Amino acid sequence: MFKKMPPRVRKVLADLWADRTRSILVIASIAVGVFAIGSIMTTYALFNTDMALSYASAQPANIEIYTDPFDNALVKSVLAIPGVTAADGRHMVSVRVSLDGATWQPLDVLANKDFVGSEINLLTPKFGVLYPNDRELVVREDAMNSTGLMPGDVVQVQLSDGTIRTMPVVGVVGDQYAAGDFTAPPRGYVTLDTAEWIGGREDYNRLYVQIEAGNDEDAIAAMAAQVEDKLERTGRTVYRTNTNKTTEHPNASIALAMLGVLAA
């Protein structure tokens, strides 16, 4: 049978057989490469889907607006806009925290009037309790910018005027919505009453909005412009607006790009 083969085929087979070890290594290398590429592409597809579903389950806001203080009346007026499915106001205050009074780090503290009844940007439990009581602090789990704080710690909180408050850390939580800003300080969470105690106010300066067409960039942009106009007509200044799709995690493009590089 071997003699009936064309000369070129016989030469190739003879060369392969003459250096069997090398041939086996080459074949194994090709097989491993094909398997690796297949695994990466499968991971890419699964990761993309799972990341989107996980992010959407946290009910992320499609629109986030930084503005002057406002109250529940304005939140209700935004909720009445056709196409809006949820609206919520929260208050952000920046402080510094320390365990020993010597080493300090910045902390952005987001205050919520009703954690349990919230429909936007839901938190997930990691350690300790999920929602703080008055004068208690919960911090966000963040591998890129960790506070190093854990339940049981008692922190000193320095207000903008230099006043020092003391608060217990009662929980560590996940907040997928906050994951996209790598440059932002670590984040903590308190009740709205606590916000005033640490130098903030009992009204809101962050407006979060969800819309029906949460995966339509044009619809989100149009609604953001409509809400901005409503705020400005009340005499408030819009300082910043962030928009996001419901199923598009802020870090998805980075993670998928890394997988794409591995597959290249």
Same domain, 102 and 145: yes
Domain span holding position 41: 7-56+253-263
Same domain, 34 and 66: no
Same domain, 50 and 162: no
In a domain, 191, yes or no: yes
* Predicted pLDDT at 147: 84
In a domain, 1, yes or no: no
Same domain, 230 and 174: yes
In a domain, 2, yes or no: no
> Model pTM?
0.77
Cα(248)–Cα(12) distance, rounded to whole angstroms? Answer: 52
Q: Is 212 helix (H, G, I), strand (E, B) or coil?
A: coil
Please list the ranges in the chain whose pLDDT falls under 70.
1-20, 23, 28, 31-52, 143-145, 180-182, 249-264
* Predicted pLDDT at 206: 98
Cα(187)–Cα(140) distance, rounded to whole angstroms? Answer: 6
21: Cβ contacts below 8 Å, ≥ 6 apart: none
* Predicted pLDDT at 35: 58
As a whole number of Å, the CA-based R_g of the chain is 27
* Predicted pLDDT at 40: 54
> 231-262 pLDDT, tens per residue?
999 999 999 999 999 988 665 555 555 555 55
What type of residue is 188? G
In a domain, 167, yes or no: yes
